[in-house]
Amino acid sequence: MSIDLKTLLAAVDARQGELVDLLCKLVSFETPAPPARNTGAAQDYMASYLRELGAEIDIWDVHPNDPNVVGTIKGSEPATHHSLIVNGHIDVAAVEEGEPWETGPFQPIVRDGFIIGRGTADMKGGLAGALLALRILNDHGIKLPGDVIFQSVIGEEVGEAGTLECNKRGYTADMAVVVDTTDLRIQGQGGVITGWITVKSPQTYHDGTRGRMIHAGGGLFGASAIEKMAKIIQGLGELERHWAVTKQYPGCPLGSTTINPAVIEGGRHAAFIADECRLWVTVHYYPNENYADVVREIEEHVAGIAAGDPWLRVNRPTFVWGGTSMIIDRGEIFPALEVDPNHPGTKMFMAMHEQVTETPVTLTVSPSVCDGGWFGDAGIPALIYGPGTLKQAHSVNEQVSIAQLVTYTKVLMSFILNWTSSKKA
């Protein structure tokens, strides 16, 4: 390579102002989800920026006015050199009326070494640094041997899985880096799946019949769906405690596998016995678990509860798991991502971090979730690494450190250069 890495890293420092301006530009696009359906202008800007770098652009609507953008920078020797996906989401957390922002969530402020605005930490900072890294490589005339596939996706904040849509469209690579909020740690993640458990009576009864259901000799084989759901909730708590005792994963606090009874809906009127009850649960599981196996465990446990109850034995609970969107069908899946510390890509990323920062790298598990799990689900080795802290993500007056943003850009640029210049085994 005609340009050494020190020259490229110095270029990031020299173009810090450009990096700040780029992030402020991205923040100025109002892309909160919910309500969503508002990323069209921001994604057009992303596509235009990537075109200037010579990328082949693929843009398609996942939902109306919520398109995915994929820019592929073709390598000079793609058959023999590693390819890379750089992935981030353009949507940001919702903004509630009356929140005490200094100016406005989409009117960024640069002050005291920080950029303030919605999405600075989660995660337009990651997108801005990745874009500038690619521009600096391009401006120095560097033709990467391997392909770089840049994905700006929608819907992460509401479980609409723009990344999954990229997978379905056939995008794959030898490695993926999700540039979400990690405070410059390399992270995997546990998984999350939501589900609805429903208990339903085949017949509706007047409130006046309750005495015949609960007293000796009443002779009416009926039940309140709400009361039966209470038994299921108690049983889910027992399973949750069993998991806490029997399951663990390095880097995760004990008891991270949880079953949260988040929302309960049931009954129709005070004059009726509740003939239906629905429970919305959120399930967290470890990076080495699969959501299908976790769901099976829960369903088998609830089936055991039902088998021990005369009415539930006949009126079995039903289940609906996951969904396409928290704002369409009130459901979502975030698969787990287990980072392999011995994968060549992970080792190289760790080396780049340590070379640039001159500090040891931290490899850990995120306490939150992002789209990174969809790469693990597709069999694509991946890790999560980006600027910003989880404390700032989704917060009022959300902010990111400019110094950290610069460091992140250097690390990512170094990895892009070295990974796509390395030959496949």
Residues tagged active-site:
91, 156
Cα–Cα distance measured from residue 99 to residue 102, given in angstroms and rounded to the nearest whole number: 9
Structure tokens, 91: 């949507």
Q: Please enumerate in sequence order all residues whose Cβ is within 8 A of that of 132, keeping only pairs 6 or more positions apart, or say none.
A: 12, 15, 18, 19, 22, 409
Residue with tokens 């849509």: 165
Structure tokens, 290: 């699969």
Cα–Cα distance measured from residue 38 to residue 186, given in angstroms and rounded to the nearest whole number: 31
Taking the CA atoms of residue 379, residue 384, residue 390 and residue 395 in that order, the dihedral angle to the nearest 10 degrees is: -80
Number of H helices, E strands in the chain: 12, 16
> Three-state SS for 14?
helix
Cα–Cα distance measured from residue 246 to residue 190, given in angstroms and rounded to the nearest whole number: 16
Cα–Cα distance measured from residue 425 to residue 422, given in angstroms and rounded to the nearest whole number: 9
Query: Which DSSP string corresponds to 254-287?
Result: TT--EEEEEEEEE-S-TTB---EEEEEEEEEE-T
Pairing of strands 258-266, 276-285: antiparallel
Rg of the chain over CA atoms, in angstroms? Answer: 25
Q: Please name every residue paired with 265 in a beta bridge, in sequence order, or none if there are none.
A: 278
**CA 201, 204, 209: angle at the middle one, nearest 5?**
110
